[in-house]
Amino acid sequence: MEVDRKLLEHVADVARLKLNEEEIRKFLPQLKEALEFFSKLKEINTEMLEPR
């Protein structure tokens, strides 16, 4: 999934947030970083872990 301005604006719209240009410039790299982190978490082998 490509994380771009359009996606950020869509997420903000769904969350009923109004972002100005400064906020978009600030939050876009943060959203990219967070989603990349979650993608890396999916790669972790948890097969030997038991649920709590």
Three-state secondary structure call for residue 46: coil
Asked if residue 5 has pLDDT above 80, the reply is: yes
- Whether the CB-CB separation of 28 and 8 falls below 8 Å is answered with yes
CA-to-CA distance for 49 and 16, rounded, in angstroms? 38
- Only one residue has tokens 């359009």, namely 6
pLDDT value at residue 51: 86
pTM assigned to the model: 0.74
Give the domain ranges of the chain. Answer: 5-39
Q: What digits encode the pLDDT tens for the residues 6-52?
A: 999 999 999 999 999 999 999 999 999 999 999 999 899 988 888 88
CA-to-CA distance for 22 and 24, rounded, in angstroms? 5
